[in-house]
Amino acid sequence: MKKSLALLVVTAALLAVPAPAQETPPPMAAAYEALADTVLAVRSAEAAFVKSMLDGHYHAAMQLAKRGDWSGAAAHMALFANEGDNAIAGVRKRLLEGGHHFNATGEEQGIFEEGYVVVNREAKTKMLEAVSQLRQATDDTARKAAWAMFEGVAKPLLSMD
């Protein structure tokens, strides 16, 4: 009985002493912080890449329009609206299959199509309407109006904020 009582007293004493708080070793926390920096930098690089690609399509369309190649301009405008061609869509699909959704919340809310980084649904619809109007235009006034419609939607998307 004395042993049991002594054991009970020692156990109670040990339980009364607060244990040191559990904490992640600082080097492990620092490594995770570095990993977070890398993940976020890759996300930023993806956005910069897509904006660079869109900028290329925008300027190609603008140059073709200036030369009067409205069909070529319309093709680049459509590539802008779709955030690239089939090759880019294949990469986007691969990222989605791997679980990467750049605008996951925007996708859930219906603002972005799956995997799109810059071009939201509303902008895509407006730009494709401009492409359609450009392809149907029969005079320079209508062509310039279609270009202005496209430009008004595309240019703000290219800002590097």
pLDDT in tens, 51-64: 999 999 999 999 99
The answer to whether 93 and 58 are in contact (CB under 8 A) is no
DSSP 139: S
In this prediction, residue 55 carries a pLDDT of 98
What pLDDT, on a 0 to 100 scale, did the predictor assign at position 14?
47
The pLDDT of residue 13: 46
Task: List pLDDT tens digits, range 98-128.
Answer: 999 999 999 999 999 999 999 999 999 999 9
At residue 5, does pLDDT exceed 60? no
Q: 137 φ, ψ to 5°?
A: -65, 140
Q: Evaluate whether 94 touches 82 at the Cβ level (below 8 Å).
A: no
Q: Could you tell me which residue, 17 or 96, shows the higher pLDDT?
A: 96
The model's pTM is: 0.81
Q: pLDDT at residue 89 above 70?
A: yes
Is residue 29 classed exposed, middle or buried when 0-12, 13-18 and 19+ CB atoms within 10 A define those classes? exposed
Which residue carries 């061609």 as its tokens?
85
Question: Predicted confidence band at 9 (pLDDT cuts at 50, 70, 90)?
Answer: very low
